[in-house]
Amino acid sequence: MSSQIDHLLNESRQFPPSPEFVAQTIDDPALYERAAADREGFWGEQARELLHWHKPFTEVLDWTNPPFAKWFGDGELNVAYNCLDRHVEAGIGDRVAIHWEGEPGDSRSITYAELTDEVKRTANVLAGLGVGHGDRVAIYLPMIPEAVISMLAVARLGAIHSVVFGGFSADSLRSRIDDAGAKVVITADGGYRKGKVSALKPAVDQSLADRNGEGEQQTVEHVLVVKRGGNDVDWTEGRDIWWHDVVPAASADHEAQAFPSENPLYILYTSGTTGKPKGILHTSGGYLTQAAYTHKYVFDLHPETDVYWCTADIGWVTGHSYVAYGPLANGATQLMYEGTPETPHPGRWWELIQKYGVTILYTAPTAIRSFMKIGRQVPNEFDLSSLRVLGSVGEPINPEAWMWYREVIGGGKAPIVDTWWQTETGGIMVSPLPGITAAKPGSAQVPLPGISIDVVDEQGKEVESGNGGLLAITKPWPAMLRGVWGDPERFKETYWEKFEEQGFYFAGDGARLDEDGDLWLLGRVDDVMHVSGHRLSTAEIESSLVAHEATAEAAVVGASDETTGQAVVAFVILKESFLAEHTPEGLATQLRGWVGEQIGPIARPRDVYIVGELPKTRSGKIMRRLLRDVAEGREVGDTTTLADTAVMSIISAQVK
Ligand code: PRX
């Protein structure tokens, strides 16, 4: 079968950066030239410029045993030293590293000097609990500074962290603790979410209980517990330790030891939409180089003046690379927020931007669309004029959501960077540079300097410009995953087998290159629909639906159909202002016609269902597999990875 994906949607708007922005940017077209002239030399330069090496490397890349790469292999560094001590030594210890805001409104500002001390104390405590080089530590915390402190303390010791998102259940936590063989778990009594304390410690207790089954070893020796929620907790003497009993009392003297560049830094499990979670393994020198490099140039970082805010939870890769490692390696000042966007009022994010004078905002399309649904009157009440760069990550951003983001949040002037990457890539791979690129709504645009990407067909051959195909990464990159924890075969099969001959990494995404050479992400290849012999991407039809004034969010799937093979079925969430004045039936008819006119009859949905919610994973991605079940009248499949498992029964009932 052809792997080409038909291209239907045309978008011709372009927004170059303003002259004022260009005048102050650190982005320089020479980056592209240098990287094109000597890719490895370029990465070597970045690694030397952006990081401190205890022992300098002499070799940039060893690719003699693909797909297992070694970057800066004979160099040595300490990741935590790079994020902390060296800034203090350089005299910026009194710069705020983290402005933290709790959901109930309590707050703390922590300088680099204070953060360094806290991490040193915590490293001493962990070392006292027997954590050393190569040991695994599970971190199951809310969005509080101790989450970042714990990650850095583990990294400082040359140990490996596995952060588990606080919204995951005891079962998910258990399988991750067991797979990694964690020695210590760091958690909290609870954290604030939606105005209440949501307990965490009981899930840890449960995940460690009842280990009598075959092969069920108890690797965890200690549980370190931060007091945050103030809720009652059960206590296991000898195992459980309060953070506040040991960390403040520990010594703040701790010398960072150097570890090899390829020393493992963390494991992060991708839940995916099906199957057993994969423990994606990242290592130190290459990862930190790319995290720092991308954070600096993609956001045009001015560390002396910017206040940066990435809204991702520490439990996702975005929280690893763009809350913990990238910003701290660059000595940036950032905001960290514990709670949900709508608590205690729907303008909470905008209030925080106004309060802290946030200049760079990095968030996800799903959040932007949920704000569109409520309406612009909410952000309009706040002063957002400090914002100068806006970022998007996690899903294709529909052109109309992009325009809303630009106009309503960015005041019509802040450049938007749509950043494409994955847990596996470790850092941003495709993105505009805000001071250089003329931005196109909905396009992630170009591989960053130093990154090689192609859109290819099933045989690995480049597709002609204008056509859709498969996104492949054609050369190794510094922050690439080094494997799947404990399963090298799965690593090869999942990512490298498809283009084994060419040695390309297969990302699993569909993409299209336009006439200017800009990339458009088309959604996961598994979600492509086959309609009357055409291969249609989810992203383009969803973008067309979102371009209608009544629509806030849309998901489309292919449902089997006697005449066309598959038919397009759409699930649409309406903006609140449209709900009152229109009937769902009337709007469904309008939307079918709209898509037909906008992108052609082939894409016209057979059915449009107006729904109140869409099924999403805990990181906000739409689970189209479940919608396909509904559209084909099947019993809905496994919903355990959904953020809200009730959503599917509501949608099923609405559709009936
Ligand atoms: O399908 C792509 C989509 O998210 C996938 C990676 O998800 P995850 O590992 O959870 O990492 C999310 C944060 C990096 C990709 O394979 N994706 C991510 N960013 C974009 C995107 N799709 C389109 N445009 C993006 N900017």
Ligand 1 centre distance from Cα of residue 396 (Å): 8
From atom 23 of ligand 1, which residue's Cα is the shortest distance away?
396
Cα three-residue angle 42-48-52, rounded to 5 degrees: 155
Ligand 1 centre distance from Cα of residue 269 (Å): 15
Ligand 1 centre distance from Cα of residue 621 (Å): 9
Q: pTM score > 0.85 for this model?
A: yes
Closest atom of ligand 1 relative to the 508 alpha carbon? 16
Ligand 1 centre distance from Cα of residue 397 (Å): 11
Mean pLDDT along residues 523-540: 91
> Cβ of 494: how many Cβ atoms within 10 Å?
17
CA-to-CA distance for 560 and 103, rounded, in angstroms? 45
210 falls in which pLDDT band (50, 70, 90)?
A: confident
How do residues 612-637 score in pLDDT, each as one tens digit?
Answer: 999 998 888 999 999 999 999 999 98
From atom 6 of ligand 1, which residue's Cα is the shortest distance away?
422
Ligand 1 centre distance from Cα of residue 376 (Å): 26
* Mutation choice for ligand 1 from 5, 317, 393, CB with most ligand atoms inside 8 A: 393
Handedness of CA 523, 525, 529, 530 (dihedral sign): positive
Burial class (CB in 10 A: 0-12, 13-18, 19+), 12: exposed
Mean pLDDT along residues 217-244: 97
CA-to-CA distance for 419 and 402, rounded, in angstroms? 13
The pLDDT value given to residue 226: 98
SS3 label, residue 387: coil
Domains in the chain, please, with CATH? 528-655 (3.30.300.30)
Ligand 1 centre distance from Cα of residue 581 (Å): 36
With both helix axes pointing from N to C terminus, report the angle between 170-180 and 201-208 in degrees, rounded to the nearest 10. 60
Ligand 1 centre distance from Cα of residue 317 (Å): 10
425 touches 496 (CB < 8 A)? no
Mean pLDDT along residues 160-185: 95
Closest atom of ligand 1 relative to the 539 alpha carbon? 23
pLDDT at 275 over 90: no
Closest atom of ligand 1 relative to the 419 alpha carbon? 26
Closest atom of ligand 1 relative to the 424 alpha carbon? 9
Length of the chain (residues): 656
Ligand 1 centre distance from Cα of residue 422 (Å): 5
556 touches 545 (CB < 8 A)? yes
533 falls in which pLDDT band (50, 70, 90)?
A: confident
Closest atom of ligand 1 relative to the 423 alpha carbon? 9
Mean pLDDT along residues 215-232: 93
Range from 16-30, 268-282, 482-496 carrying the lowest mean pLDDT:
268-282
How do residues 123-159 score in pLDDT, each as one tens digit?
Answer: 999 999 999 999 999 999 999 999 999 999 999 999 9
More confident of the two residues 643 and 320:
320
Give the highest mean pLDDT range of 8-22, 169-183, 297-311, 508-522: 297-311
Mean pLDDT along residues 28-49: 98
Closest atom of ligand 1 relative to the 318 alpha carbon? 13
Beta bridge partners of 62: 70
Which one, of 351, 384, 360, lies nearest residue 310 by Cα?
360
Closest atom of ligand 1 relative to the 524 alpha carbon? 1
- Residue 247 is classified by DSSP as T
Element containing residue 193 per DSSP (H, E): strand 190-193
pLDDT at 223 over 60: yes
pLDDT at 214 over 70: no
Return the residue matching tokens 């016209």.
604
SS3 label, residue 171: helix
Ligand 1 site, CB within 6 A: 270, 317-318, 393-396, 418-423, 444, 507-509, 521, 524, 619
From atom 15 of ligand 1, which residue's Cα is the shortest distance away?
422
71 touches 52 (CB < 8 A)? no
From atom 21 of ligand 1, which residue's Cα is the shortest distance away?
395
Ligand 1 centre distance from Cα of residue 393 (Å): 6
Q: Which two tokens stand for residue 618?
A: 């805990």
* Mutation choice for ligand 1 from 422, 440, 519, CB with most ligand atoms inside 8 A: 422
How do residues 306-334 score in pLDDT, each as one tens digit?
Answer: 999 999 999 999 999 999 999 999 999 99
6 falls in which pLDDT band (50, 70, 90)?
A: confident
Cα three-residue angle 403-628-571, rounded to 5 degrees: 35
pLDDT at 3 over 70: no
476 touches 452 (CB < 8 A)? no
- Residue 602 is classified by DSSP as G
Ligand 1 centre distance from Cα of residue 610 (Å): 26
The pLDDT value given to residue 476: 98
The pLDDT value given to residue 465: 83
Range from 92-96, 227-231, 384-388, 585-589 carrying the lowest mean pLDDT:
585-589
Ligand 1 centre distance from Cα of residue 421 (Å): 5
From atom 26 of ligand 1, which residue's Cα is the shortest distance away?
420
pLDDT at 504 over 90: yes
The pLDDT value given to residue 1: 39
